Structure 1
Amino acid sequence: MKSQLHTVRTIALALVAAIGLFAGGSVRGDAAKAMTESVGEETSFNADWTFHNGEADVAEAVDFDDSVWRSLNLSHDWAIEGPFDVKYNAHCGGLPFHGTGWYRKTFQVPAYAKGKVAAITFDGAMYNAHVWVNGTFVGNRPFGYIEFQYDISKHLRYGKENIISVRLKTEDLSSRWYPGARLYRNVWLEYKNPLHLAHWGTFVSTPIVQEDRPTVAVETAIVQYPNADVWTDAKLAAKEFPGFDFIGEYVKDGQAVQVTPSGDKFYLSIYQGGLPGSGWDHSPIAHQWENLDGMATRLQGWNKIDRSETVVGKKPSEDATVLFDGSNVDAWNNGKIENGVLKAGAVTKQKYRDFTLYLEFQIPLKPQPPISHPHRGNSGVFAVGAYEVQISDTFGLDHDPQAWEGIDMLKPVNTWSGSIYGIRSADQNMCLPPLTWQSMEIDFRAARFKDGVKTADAVISVIHNGVKVHDHVSLPEGTGGGPSGPRDEVAEGPIYLQNHGNPNRFRNIWIVSR
């Protein structure tokens, strides 16, 4: 029996908003939008089930014939229908709640759901529930009074019909009151983005309670993209990732193309006049998706170029202090060298105030998460520990909101690579392909304070891969976006190369203090 899924409720972010309120912070518009999109929608799964009261051999099988079973919608209780009988437990109303019951449902899963996390939630199943999806056993829930959830993503057939089977087996003399026998509450199917709030992952406590003011602590677990493949070596990626050679930049006859992977497809951005920072006339960018088997034909006649070598290799000036040249990590706390480069997570031992910082960085290849996903090479450079210039894989992405019609923008433009995180997007997207070396030059003047009160904003300019993307931008506050809000502004502080769970790497780092 086929069914269409109808949305009847969307998860509210009241709790997320509460996190910001309790912590005294704020959630900006774009950041809040991204958080909303990362939660997903729950869809009612109550309609068009079939039911059988009794045992049924191999009813979990995909090809099992349930055409003679009873059709119904949830919620449902087979025992309440009776009949009453004195042989049944009198404490439970004399109703036949014990025994076995089977439920089955055929449903369509849209092709676009591939890459998301598909979760099935049972608000109540009495009891000893066994669940199968497409004939594969998913899990068993012995208890009957509490909601439970399973991730069924790997068991689904996307763009096709799917079968879910549920067996309940209640026992006599197992309750002191009438427990029922059924899927007695709602069932939900949810497609969540890979970065999402964990199920039962939010905890609220009051660690300190004073007469005039309580302290409320909110802790929320975030689930990141599961088991995503990642490469830090281009030669190895070329051997292991199909289509690696297609990733990059191409030119032909006054046009240019940037190609970036996303799951099992490639996203193309087509520019007029040339590439960003190298001839693009700033006219609207065209976009298209292409499958792997169509890429060779699509790029036939185009010339692939590598701009990386032209934007790196700047030598330190005579008055510069070299922070990292591959030989040691003497200037860093938590400094770790791997294959001659500095791993993310290092913090300078010295504090700085006004300076020009130059560094080179490499973003890993992480093609499975969708484009603009926060887990694609997320990192950043923090000036005085308070203001972040973002580093991430946003290669080939378009600032124009119209380019995102029908596509989830999981990472707002003002958090893309080269942005001042959450405050200002770069004037243009100068991100190069993953696994190529890129450069960033940050000119920074710290905020000024007198008697603990700020008298002048911090000011920053940023050159990303040879192009100025921020020019003397005043910073009204520290960067941030999490529950605690913006970071505290300071008069001086260290340089921090953020470790955000991705193997970003750095080299050729030097600084000129003023």
Structure 2
Amino acid sequence: MKLNLLQTLLLLSVSTLGLAQTKFKPEDTEFYTPKPPIVKLKEGVPSDAIVLFNGQNLGQWTSSSNPQQAAAWTIDGQELIVKPSSGNIQTKQTFEDFQLHIEWKSPEVIKGSGQGRGNSGIFLQGLYEIQVLDNADNPTYVNGQAGSLYKQRPPLVEVHADADGWHRYDIIYRAPRFNKDGMLVSKGIVTVLHNGVLVQNNVQIEGTTEYIGLPKLNAHGAGPIILQDHGNLVRFRNIWIRPL
């Protein structure tokens, strides 16, 4: 039996009226289990986080070019400093979805301009770069400035360092997913806060962040966090990650 528009609207009205007359108690829409796990903070670090750099050693890191070799960067005053020409470093552990906190500071002596000035990068799963670059009056292409998803998405706003010169990134990342045949199911998604300011808002990652050419998207599993040696004495500190 087909219903005309008037009959359909009448049935919907009667259904809605019946729902509105249902007597609910507050406890009808309350539940108490399962309880979320408790996370405490110690000096700003969540208790369920993996501390990747605590200012003491590089025990969580290896060389990217040869994961069997120790990371060769320098530690000075509880800060991790890029050692030019030593190559990228990466975490021993691999990750998929995560929350990452990392702080960075441009070199004490700034040289060069554009992409040659305080350049480094944070590669999610070793493939997708969030740019690190001095941005104090340093013109460059906007999808390559600090806070950008390199060569793909510029930051929503340009955020400068605090008076102490340090930048803080909080990155929430969901890895791309592939089926058992290697076919893409969903692309990666990233949100970035730069010194507490939203600069990437749940954006889709199109693929690898290539210097030349278009993004590539090949099937992969968990991957490391990579810090880039771009020849500049960029400093890092207080690095921790929470697998999600």
Normalising to structure 2: TM-score of the pair? Answer: 0.71
| 1:32-61: CA deviation from partner (whole Å, max 9, x where unpaired) | xxxxxxxxxxxxxxxxxxxxxxxxxxxxxx
State the match for 1:464 in structure 2.
194
The answer to whether the Cα contact below 8 Å between 1:326 and 1:337 also exists between their aligned partners in 2 is no
Does residue 127 of structure 2 align to residue 386 of structure 1?
yes
Structure 2, unmatched stretches of 5+, are 1-41, 64-70, 83-87
Change (3 A) 1:477 1:505: same
State the match for 1:437 in structure 2.
166
The answer to whether the Cα contact below 8 Å between 1:329 and 1:337 also exists between their aligned partners in 2 is no
Give, in angstroms, the shift of residue 365 of structure 1.
4.2
Does residue 75 of structure 2 align to residue 338 of structure 1?
yes
Which aligned segments of 4 or more residues in structure 1 are displaced greater than 4 angstroms? 365-368
2:147 aligns to what SS in structure 1?
A: coil
State the match for 2:232 in structure 1.
502
Alignment of 1:69-218 (within 5 A): none
2:209 counterpart (479, 483, 487): 479
Cα separation, 1, equivalents of 2:151 and 2:175: 18
State the match for 1:322 in structure 2.
51
Change (3 A) 1:315 1:433: closer
The answer to whether the Cα contact below 8 Å between 2:57 and 2:75 also exists between their aligned partners in 1 is no
Matching residue's letter, 2:94: K
Cα separation, 2, equivalents of 1:379 and 1:330: 21
Cα separation, 2, equivalents of 1:415 and 1:456: 25
State the match for 2:143 in structure 1.
414
Cα separation, 1, equivalents of 2:43 and 2:123: 21
1:374 aligns to what SS in structure 2?
A: helix
1:446 counterpart (175, 185, 192): 175
Does residue 116 of structure 2 align to residue 375 of structure 1?
yes
Give, in angstroms, the shift of residue 458 of structure 1.
0.1
Give, in angstroms, the shift of residue 486 of structure 1.
3.2
Cα separation, 2, equivalents of 1:434 and 1:504: 17
| 1:157-200: CA deviation from partner (whole Å, max 9, x where unpaired) | xxxxxxxxxxxxxxxxxxxxxxxxxxxxxxxxxxxxxxxxxxxx
Alignment of 1:221-240 (within 5 A): none
Structure 1, unmatched stretches of 5+, are 1-312, 398-408
Matching residue's letter, 1:513: P
Change (3 A) 1:414 1:366: farther
| 1:433-476: CA deviation from partner (whole Å, max 9, x where unpaired) | 79712111110000000111111010000010111111110112
Give, in angstroms, the shift of residue 430 of structure 1.
0.6
Higher RCO (CA-CA < 8 Å; seq separation 6+): 2
Cα separation, 1, equivalents of 2:53 and 2:232: 20
Give, in angstroms, the shift of residue 432 of structure 1.
1.9
| 1:480-499: CA deviation from partner (whole Å, max 9, x where unpaired) | 1236x535543321000111
The answer to whether the Cα contact below 8 Å between 2:95 and 2:222 also exists between their aligned partners in 1 is yes
Change (3 A) 1:421 1:459: same
Give, in angstroms, the shift of residue 395 of structure 1.
2.1
2:102 counterpart (352, 359, 371): 359
The answer to whether the Cα contact below 8 Å between 1:447 and 1:458 also exists between their aligned partners in 2 is yes
Give, in angstroms, the shift of residue 346 of structure 1.
2.0
Cα separation, 2, equivalents of 1:434 and 1:422: 29
The answer to whether the Cα contact below 8 Å between 2:94 and 2:125 also exists between their aligned partners in 1 is yes
Give, in angstroms, the shift of residue 368 of structure 1.
4.7
Matching residue's letter, 1:412: Y
1:359 aligns to what SS in structure 2?
A: strand
Does residue 124 of structure 2 align to residue 395 of structure 1?
no
1:424 counterpart (150, 153, 156): 153
Higher strand fraction: Structure 1 or Structure 2?
1
Matching residue's letter, 2:210: G
Aligned residues, how many? 187
Matching residue's letter, 1:386: L
Percent identity over paired residues = 35
Please tell me whether Structure 1 or Structure 2 has the larger radius of gyration of its CA atoms: 1
